[in-house]
Amino acid sequence: MDAHPSLPSSPRSPPRLASLPSTLPLPPFAQRAWGGAVASGEWHDWRWQLAHRVTSVAALLELLGADFPVAPAMRAALEKAGAASEVSVTPCYLALARPDDPRDPILPQVLPDPAEQQSDAQASGQPDPFREEELEIAKGVVNRYPDRALFLLTNFCSTLCRHCMRRREWEGGFTRLSDAELDAGVAAIAARPAIRDVLLSGGDPLNLPPSYVGKVVRALRERCDLDLLRLGSRVPVTLPMRIDDELLAALAPAAPLWLNTHFNHAREVTAEAAAAVRRLAAAGVVVSNQGVLLRGVNDTADDLLALSRALLRAGLRAYYLHQCDPVAGVRHLRVGLARGLELIASLQGKVSGLAIPRLTVDLPGGGGKVQADGPYLRERHGDRFVYASPLTGQRIEVDGSEGSFAGAGSWRAPAGATAGGT
């Protein structure tokens, strides 16, 4: 992947929201590791953040140190899980973790769990459960719906989420589409007038150089007749300082743009993240949130209510809450579908409807996305849910059973136990 060009510093940062938490002060482990960068100001430079990503389980556990005691057997199991898959997390996102919290919501999203490699976790999912590769009409362009195209520009994310639906893309190194592939992708979309909506995703398109992103959005606006141009990005959550003047200037010619970001827990909605959202909104980008319901992260009524309220304070609408996808290696993070519906119902009467997301299920086999309790639900018996595909009418069964993850506290050594190797 190409290096990012140098960017000019912003002349002025937006004021912080007093009602939202800041990432500072850092927790003890982060202060030990990065206190000097905070004092020097480097912490607020996205280039420093990218250069200091934590990219192995061993390095992550070393950073946490005595704040997160792990028994030798568990450490070995965690490192084995990490060796089988890529690991990456920005310092500013990892610094949101509170290792002494048994229900810490950050570590489960970035630290590989041994369950990822268990046979049932692999057998209960597929690398590409939605047939994206089969539905490509050009390199990186997926045309599942007649009126929509998904344009996958890169497989790079600064922070790799353990529940990612495209974990298969992490293998073989991080890349982006070449200029020739971009041109072919735009041409394929332009040749299909039925496509009215394009979603730029990956990976994370906002991790790409502004000149590259700007080139893509301008080409789509100039060569395609679109009603809607969208981006999917977790950068406002995991690298908020990346939303700077140069990136916004690159996006401006393609306005109006819509961006769905990905906050999963109220702790992620920091003042820095909210400032990034405000910068996007001031530049004419309409920002909403699409979270994922994750066991041990946000699967209580209190978790979801706190998230909904934090999103409102940040000026974000809670659009979707996704059922964890049937991807190989993530079954342990699934929340039972029936329990998910109960959790959504628990928000009624407690918060504005703008803050109540729709629980959605992406049907396996490329069947399309449906609301979990919406009109496409045909049968419901225990953990068995049957939906009609909105694309084909085919009846598709969905496994709505509960995963096994017991929270970040399940990794910690029991009180009084030896935690050698940490």
Q: Residue 9 pLDDT > 60, yes or no?
A: no
Q: Is 384 a catalytic residue?
A: no
Per-residue model confidence (pLDDT) at position 123: 54
CA–CA dist 32, 132 (Å, integer)? 43
Q: How confident is the model at residue 7 (pLDDT cuts 50, 70, 90)?
A: very low
> Which CATH number do you get for residue 30?
3.20.20.70
Q: Catalytic: which of 325, 331, 373, 387? A: 325
Q: Catalytic: which of 75, 113, 145, 224? A: 145
Q: Is 144 a catalytic residue?
A: yes
Q: Catalytic: which of 192, 369, 380, 399? A: 369
How do residues 171-203 score in pLDDT, each as one tens digit?
778 899 999 999 999 999 999 999 999 999 999
Q: Is 161 a catalytic residue?
A: yes
- Non-local (6+) Cβ contacts of 344 within 8 A are 304, 321, 356, 357, 358, 359
Q: Is 164 a catalytic residue?
A: yes
Per-residue model confidence (pLDDT) at position 285: 96
Q: Tally the domains of the chain.
A: 1
Q: Catalytic: which of 75, 93, 161, 267? A: 161
Q: Is 92 a catalytic residue?
A: no
What's the mean pLDDT when you consider all of the chain?
Answer: 91
How do residues 39-88 score in pLDDT, each as one tens digit?
999 999 999 999 999 999 999 999 999 999 999 999 999 999 998 889 99
pTM (2 decimals)?
A: 0.91
Q: Residue 420 pLDDT > 50, yes or no?
A: no
How do residues 325-338 score in pLDDT, each as one tens digit?
999 899 999 999 99
**Domain assignment of residue 162, given as a range:** 1-422
Q: Is 131 a catalytic residue?
A: no
How do residues 227-273 score in pLDDT, each as one tens digit?
999 999 999 999 999 999 999 999 999 999 999 999 999 999 999 99
Per-residue model confidence (pLDDT) at position 120: 58
Q: What percent of the chain has pLDDT over 90?
A: 84
Q: Residue 129 pLDDT > 60, yes or no?
A: yes
Q: How confident is the model at residue 416 (pLDDT cuts 50, 70, 90)?
A: low
CA–CA dist 410, 420 (Å, integer)? 17
Q: Catalytic: which of 166, 267, 279, 334? A: 166
Q: Catalytic: which of 164, 167, 204, 295? A: 164
Per-residue model confidence (pLDDT) at position 398: 95
Q: Catalytic: which of 98, 144, 168, 267? A: 144
Helix axes 57-64, 72-83, angle to 10 degrees: 140
For range 126-139, the mean pLDDT: 90
Q: Is 67 a catalytic residue?
A: no
For range 281-291, the mean pLDDT: 96
Q: Is 167 a catalytic residue?
A: no
Q: Is 324 a catalytic residue?
A: no
Per-residue model confidence (pLDDT) at position 13: 37
Q: Is 2 a catalytic residue?
A: no
For range 207-226, the mean pLDDT: 97
Q: What percent of the chain has pLDDT over 70?
A: 91
